[in-house]
Amino acid sequence: MAVHTFEPTRFHPTIGSHEPVLRIRDGDTVVTWCVDAGGHDREFKSVTPGGNPQTGPFYVEGAEPGDTLAVHFDRMWPNRTVGFTGKLVAPWVIDPGFVSYLPYERNAGQRPSPPTEPHVDLWDLDLEKGSIRLHTPRLGLEALQELKIDPMLGCFGVAPPRGQAISCATSGQYGGNMDYRGFTQGVTVYFPVFVPGALLHVGDGHAIQGDGEIVGTGVEISFDVQFTVQLLKGKKSNWPRGENADSIFAAGNARPLDQCVQHATTELMLWLEQDYGLDYRASSILFGQCIRYDLGNIFDPAYTMVARIEKRYLPPKRS
Amino acid sequence: MAVHTFEPTRFHPTIGSHEPVLRIRDGDTVVTWCVDAGGHDREFKSVTPGGNPQTGPFYVEGAEPGDTLAVHFDRMWPNRTVGFTGKLVAPWVIDPGFVSYLPYERNAGQRPSPPTEPHVDLWDLDLEKGSIRLHTPRLGLEALQELKIDPMLGCFGVAPPRGQAISCATSGQYGGNMDYRGFTQGVTVYFPVFVPGALLHVGDGHAIQGDGEIVGTGVEISFDVQFTVQLLKGKKSNWPRGENADSIFAAGNARPLDQCVQHATTELMLWLEQDYGLDYRASSILFGQCIRYDLGNIFDPAYTMVARIEKRYLPPKRS
Amino acid sequence: MAVHTFEPTRFHPTIGSHEPVLRIRDGDTVVTWCVDAGGHDREFKSVTPGGNPQTGPFYVEGAEPGDTLAVHFDRMWPNRTVGFTGKLVAPWVIDPGFVSYLPYERNAGQRPSPPTEPHVDLWDLDLEKGSIRLHTPRLGLEALQELKIDPMLGCFGVAPPRGQAISCATSGQYGGNMDYRGFTQGVTVYFPVFVPGALLHVGDGHAIQGDGEIVGTGVEISFDVQFTVQLLKGKKSNWPRGENADSIFAAGNARPLDQCVQHATTELMLWLEQDYGLDYRASSILFGQCIRYDLGNIFDPAYTMVARIEKRYLPPKRS
Amino acid sequence: MAVHTFEPTRFHPTIGSHEPVLRIRDGDTVVTWCVDAGGHDREFKSVTPGGNPQTGPFYVEGAEPGDTLAVHFDRMWPNRTVGFTGKLVAPWVIDPGFVSYLPYERNAGQRPSPPTEPHVDLWDLDLEKGSIRLHTPRLGLEALQELKIDPMLGCFGVAPPRGQAISCATSGQYGGNMDYRGFTQGVTVYFPVFVPGALLHVGDGHAIQGDGEIVGTGVEISFDVQFTVQLLKGKKSNWPRGENADSIFAAGNARPLDQCVQHATTELMLWLEQDYGLDYRASSILFGQCIRYDLGNIFDPAYTMVARIEKRYLPPKRS
């Protein structure tokens, strides 16, 4: 149960079977940091090209395809005081006939790079108070002068199978760029293991984000991250699962959103059967009246929906 | 500002330009009731064929196409103590390759009719305590022996244009079967007016419902309903809007869910421009970090997503 | 087997349970005509509001829910020499980020009305030669000075169930605005019967149309139409089916296109089981290597895909 | 303009920036072969794991991001006499409520491996006659005892950007597993170049295939392939384009099919502007009445639709 401090020097714009930067064991903790989505560090200096560059991958000893890797995020918190956001709702998030009324520049809907005004909006954080405000006050948006931050990781996951290396713009069964507000500190995320060592990547911190990440960004910012891994040998899973104090949930990543819902609902039913002994009739009764769906992103190549159930509705977990 | 008590005797399985049952004025209140989705009244007697039969339509004097009709739901509450629910998650809400593992009968995904065991699950309500429990206790679902009810209307709306009469199975710009948990008592719903008199219909009470209405029902039950109308002359709207103590929101009804998000987001942007003076750049900044999306139904022919923003983020409403 | 000549005087912008204009019998033929999509007759005079106004409905004696109505289109042909088309590809048929580059006016993607320059492009027909040319020649489009017409009906169908009346903008199991190029003269179309008398409607002639009807129109023009009905008592069908000299096919109407494919494929499998004795394993083998899919419309509220199989691959039809 | 004969010994289950197997120049021709989708060679021996293993990549000297690579398929033809096909229409291609009626085994919708009865259906080819028949005759499918082959490549493309390596199960702007019947011999395919050398991969021969590849396979078989490359320096393209004797076309790869149509239509409009001088108003007029859409696959993670226009409608190509 060692604690590793890892100082990254290289960042990957894909999640894949890259050379591990560190080998860790079941129960180990890693203290590290990640650049922002545009490749800027805590000094807001560009240290790598943009596109949600990842810290890692971390090789977990003993992890094999067919296992599940649990990653508890002990801490994730911005480590600088300036963040940036996209300027307009993406054209695919509004009515096609309405697109002409928004002042899009060329490359509408691309993630902004470089992250400097006037290409983005800047935000100022007060890390002691945990507050954030829009850098340039704007009439009618006075409320944005005093928001609470709610830090989350937008993009992280394990290496996909078949030697794939997949752009950090998108997501899949292996995780990736899900941009779900529920991936905050204190959450445990469970990934199916597809390759030996699992190969965990982390990146893309957001100080705050609306549902859907519809301007293509949260408040993009570099993060300090600390996580602890647990290896669940022989435990089967198909999609990222998560657990916090109140709920368990599963994320589906695909297009259209309908298919995300299918993946997430199915994975949650399988989980309830596996760990809580509820057959599909029982989980149907429960879900029908108690399930919650959260929207991750509706911006990236694969969208994300999360199916969630509060723990208070569940029977005791089977040992 | 009269208060009308209306005792329905006939119910419509479509929302359309039917003969009005009552003519009311701007500011009037109506106290009435509606049968459950299967056409059963407060005695659980079948009084009309199923399919979300509607009470109404109510003709609002002076309402013309191009206006908006505000409907404040003063009260909506179950008026009997037995409700029913569908038995299995609909096959289109789970992975296609997983469908074979659920014990579907023929007509999978149809709304259950008649609502008697073994075709449905029954639920018992305690209307004084506001609690509900699964009629036949089931191992592992002990938590369903003591839930709080959270009454909502699944299907209601105004007559669509062009002389249409549209099945209460589905929804559109005129409202309809949206099955959104946010349509509770205390909410004000705003509808675009498409025909003279607006022609308001109400029905399909749910004592409680999960997001998505994925078993095809909430706890279906007959309701007492009281509402008050306000006519907003010359006020333009395109999709159902809503307002409660904390939030304003807009509903988009379509398939796939992606398109619902487009409709709802666009309508909310238009509303913020119209009433709060926020141009599209401003609403983009706000939505990017603060918008919330809620899933209405992912069961009906048209799905429903709601875009919502908390009022605390908004500037004062323009008079 | 009477031949009726019917002169329409009233037209419906919805398909529904309207008062029949004529009662006919199994085997009867009707000779009639229909206005263009904008409500103009053979003199290009406006005689009714636009929106694919329908001639009919025709009541077929003895038709009951659960039957299938066969409609053989003996003839459908333009009856004037001027047609019109929309001016731009609809914004939902191109990449969202590309929409800003097309010169949309307000109301992008709406069907044009009135159909006069500059709101539309006009086309001139030579009905003897069966040719058509763009009225105002345009550099680079010289080929459009000499096209062959290929007349088809865009919108027709039978009354939907539950007393519905559905806008002629859209389509469903009852037919409607499918805008499929395969609905030409010589084709037999089979509709499920939902209401007594079936209530057949016809309208929306196109002199020619590209796949998808992506500018919102074919060459819109008034038509002479002659059809002969056959009543298939007790024959079950769920979606519009068609048959021509070479192929049998089924149309699925929904969004997204994926769902159209599901409806059409399923209906064709059911048809092969019903009339050709092929079980689902057999039709899978056949479809896997021989099926064809045609795009109807990708413009209307419900899109249309057609699953088609050539008759030469089929065993003899069971009597 | 050398002719290279290349004997592959290693095959890639992804398309990506793998070590080139051969460096070729603009104008060069390559004569090579590829294994079938399951990794079997001309002797039907397993030589590599399944999943559309690719021959290549071939490095084209001088190709740089921003160029377009033209690949003319001089010849593609089966090189053995036994092929295999999946047994059932995939569950996501039929109505969700109909899935329960097909005899799916576990792992429904997966590509079959190993390709031996009873896991697949086998087919026998006569390469001299160019005919194919179902190995085990089946009542009602007598027509499948004498089909013509129509050989095509299911999966091929160039390396995607950002160091990605993407599973040959899917497709994107770089090509990949499009399973489009139009990719036959004689066609020229144009790919955007994303990495130096372009890195062309080829594989996944089908002796014949229905639209949509709805059983998850065409008749899967090993192929001899000969192609000639042409480098179009500085020529911009975004999606795979193709050209045959009669038509030019563009492929869009995504989900849902609606989005494929958007990509394909946009790419074809851009092409007509670029090479034929048609502005968007002109291409709208043309497409509205003359465009054709073909379905590639509706089986793989990304679906494929092709927008196609016949050359006879086009003005002369600009030099």
Separation CA C103–CA A57 (nearest Å): 47
One domain, residues B205 and B141: yes
Q: In 3D, which of B110, B161, B144, B125 has the Cα closest to residue B44?
A: B125
**DSSP string covering C298-319:** SSSSSEEEEEEEEGGGSPPPP-
Q: E-assigned strands of C88-220? A: 121-126, 131-134, 147-148, 152-158, 165-167, 171-172, 175-177, 188-192, 200-206
pTM of the complete model? 0.98
pLDDT of residue C7: 98
Sheet holding D175-177: strands in order across? D22-24, D55-60, D200-206, D152-158, D175-177, D171-172
pLDDT of residue D319: 72
Contact list, D135 vs chain C (CB under 8 Å): none
Q: Is position B274 within any domain?
A: yes
pLDDT of residue A112: 73
Q: Which residues constitute the domain of residue C299?
A: 241-312
How many Å from the N-terminal Cα to the C-terminal Cα in chain D? 23
Rounded mean pLDDT, A104-126: 82
Rounded mean pLDDT, B170-174: 98
> What single letter denotes the amino acid at residue D247?
S
Separation CA D230–CA A167 (nearest Å): 28
Structure tokens at A115: 């992250």
pLDDT of residue D117: 79
**DSSP string covering B60-88:** ETT--TT-EEEEEEEEEEE-SSEEEE-SS
Structure tokens at C22: 């004529």
Question: What single DSSP character describes residue D170?
Answer: -
Rg (CA), chain A: 19
pLDDT of residue C113: 66
Separation CA A300–CA C65 (nearest Å): 46
Q: Write the pLDDT tens digit of every residue in B133-144.
A: 999 999 999 999
Q: Is position A308 within any domain?
A: yes
Distance of CA D273 to CAs C109, D70, D236, D266, Å? 22, 19, 12, 11
One domain, residues A195 and A91: yes
> In this complex, do B13 and C163 lie within 8 Å of one another by their Cβ atoms?
yes
Structure tokens at B308: 């919502």
Could you tell me whether strands C22-24 and C55-60 are parallel, antiparallel, or unpaired per DSSP bridges?
parallel
Q: Write the pLDDT tens digit of every residue in D153-188.
A: 999 999 999 999 999 999 999 999 999 999 999 999
Of the partner residues D51, D164, D256, the one whose CB lies closest to the CB of residue A166: D164
Contact list, B259 vs chain C (CB under 8 Å): 255
One domain, residues C291 and C184: no
A129-A135-A140 Cα angle (round to 5): 100
Residues in chain C where the model's pLDDT stays below 50: none
Structure tokens at C92: 């939902």
Three-state secondary structure call for residue A57: strand
D307-D311-D315 Cα angle (round to 5): 115
Separation CA A167–CA D270 (nearest Å): 26
Q: Is position D14 within any domain?
A: yes
CA distance A89 to chain C (A): 12
Q: Write the pLDDT tens digit of every residue in A301-310.
A: 999 999 999 9
> In this complex, do B315 and A138 lie within 8 Å of one another by their Cβ atoms?
no
Rounded mean pLDDT, B145-168: 98
CATH number of the domain bearing residue C302:
3.10.28.20
CA distance D258 to chain B (A): 10
Give the total residue count for chain B. Answer: 319
Give the total residue count for chain A. Answer: 319
One domain, residues A40 and A104: yes
pLDDT of residue D116: 80
Q: Is the pLDDT of residue D140 over 90?
A: yes
Q: Is the pLDDT of residue A14 over 90?
A: yes
Distance of CA A243 to CAs A293, D234, D317, Å? 14, 50, 59
* Percent of chain B with pLDDT strictly greater than 90: 94
For chain B, the chains sharing at least 3 beta-carbon pairs closer than 8 angstroms are A, C, D
Mean pLDDT computed over every residue of chain A? 96
C201, C313 contact by CB (below 8 A): no
Q: Is position D89 within any domain?
A: yes
Distance of CA D9 to CAs B23, D25, D32, D51, D85, Å? 82, 22, 11, 16, 25
pLDDT of residue A41: 98
One domain, residues A230 and A281: no
Mean pLDDT computed over every residue of chain B? 96
B236, B269, B298: which is the final residue of a domain?
B236
The count of domains in chain C is: 2
Q: Is position A25 within any domain?
A: yes
pLDDT of residue C118: 83
D226, D29 contact by CB (below 8 A): yes
* Percent of chain C with pLDDT strictly greater than 90: 94
Q: In 3D, which of B262, D256, B273, D293 has the Cα closest to residue C91?
A: B262
Contact list, D154 vs chain C (CB under 8 Å): none
Structure tokens at A213: 């990440």
Give the total residue count for chain C. Answer: 319
Contact list, B160 vs chain C (CB under 8 Å): 167
One domain, residues A49 and A198: yes
Separation CA A241–CA A237 (nearest Å): 8
Q: Write the pLDDT tens digit of every residue in B41-74.
A: 999 999 999 999 999 999 999 999 999 999 999 9
Least confident of A101-105, A177-181, C97-101, D189-193: A101-105
A199, A219, A236: which is the final residue of a domain?
A236
> In this complex, do A96 and C97 lie within 8 Å of one another by their Cβ atoms?
no
Q: Is the pLDDT of residue A113 over 70?
A: no
Rounded mean pLDDT, A47-59: 97
Structure tokens at D169: 């199960």
Contact list, C256 vs chain B (CB under 8 Å): 255-256
> What single letter denotes the amino acid at residue C211?
D
Write a three-state SS string for D117-131: CCCCEEEEEECCCCE
Of the partner residues C215, C266, C276, the one whose CB lies closest to the CB of residue D284: C215
pLDDT of residue D106: 67
> In this complex, do D100 and B91 lie within 8 Å of one another by their Cβ atoms?
yes
Q: Provide the 10 A C-beta neighbour count for residue D197.
A: 21
Contact list, B108 vs chain D (CB under 8 Å): 96-97, 100
Q: Is the pLDDT of residue A126 over 70?
A: yes
Which residue in the block uniquely carries the two structure tokens 């399923």?
Answer: C266
Q: Write the pLDDT tens digit of every residue in B234-286.
A: 999 999 999 999 999 999 999 999 999 999 999 999 999 999 999 999 999 99
pLDDT of residue B117: 78
One domain, residues A38 and A103: yes
One domain, residues B230 and B252: no
Give the total residue count for chain D. Answer: 319
Contact list, B99 vs chain D (CB under 8 Å): 91, 96, 99-100
Of the partner residues D167, D254, D259, the one whose CB lies closest to the CB of residue A164: D167
Of the partner residues D92, D256, D292, the one whose CB lies closest to the CB of residue C256: D256
Rounded mean pLDDT, B157-163: 97
Q: Is position D318 within any domain?
A: no
Rounded mean pLDDT, D298-318: 97
pLDDT of residue A105: 80
> In this complex, do B91 and D99 lie within 8 Å of one another by their Cβ atoms?
yes
> In this complex, do A14 and D259 lie within 8 Å of one another by their Cβ atoms?
no
* Percent of chain C with pLDDT strictly greater than 70: 98
Distance of CA B284 to CAs A145, A150, B155, B308, D115, Å? 16, 19, 31, 13, 53
Contact list, D280 vs chain C (CB under 8 Å): 88-89, 101-103
One domain, residues D36 and D118: yes
Q: Is the pLDDT of residue A118 over 90?
A: no
One domain, residues C1 and C74: yes
Separation CA B179–CA B204 (nearest Å): 9
Structure tokens at D236: 């911009």
Of the partner residues A90, A96, A256, the one whose CB lies closest to the CB of residue C91: A96
B176, B205, B236: which is the final residue of a domain?
B236
Most D CBs within 10 A among A255, A260, A263, hence the mutation to make, goes to A255
Q: Of residues C162 and D112, which shows the higher confidence score?
A: C162
Three-state secondary structure call for residue A99: helix
For chain D, the chains sharing at least 3 beta-carbon pairs closer than 8 angstroms are A, B, C
One domain, residues D285 and D166: no
> In this complex, do B108 and D92 lie within 8 Å of one another by their Cβ atoms?
no
Of the partner residues D16, D163, D256, the one whose CB lies closest to the CB of residue A13: D163
Structure tokens at B20: 């009005």
One domain, residues C36 and C150: yes
Q: Is position C93 within any domain?
A: yes
CATH number of the domain bearing residue C10:
2.60.120.580
What are the residues whose beta carbons fall under 8 Å from the beta carbon of A106, sequence distance 6 or more? none
Find the DSSP H helices in chain C: 257-276, 280-290
Sheet holding C175-177: strands in order across? C22-24, C55-60, C200-206, C152-158, C175-177, C171-172
**ipTM of this complex > 0.95?**
yes
Most D CBs within 10 A among C101, C209, C284, hence the mutation to make, goes to C284
pLDDT of residue C45: 96
Closest residue in B to C50 (Cα–Cα)? B162
Most C CBs within 10 A among A99, A104, A214, hence the mutation to make, goes to A99
D297, D260 contact by CB (below 8 A): no
Q: In 3D, which of A280, A270, A309, A278 has the Cα closest to residue A292?
A: A309
Q: Is position D201 within any domain?
A: yes
Distance of CA A37 to CAs A164, A180, A211, A305, Å? 21, 15, 18, 21
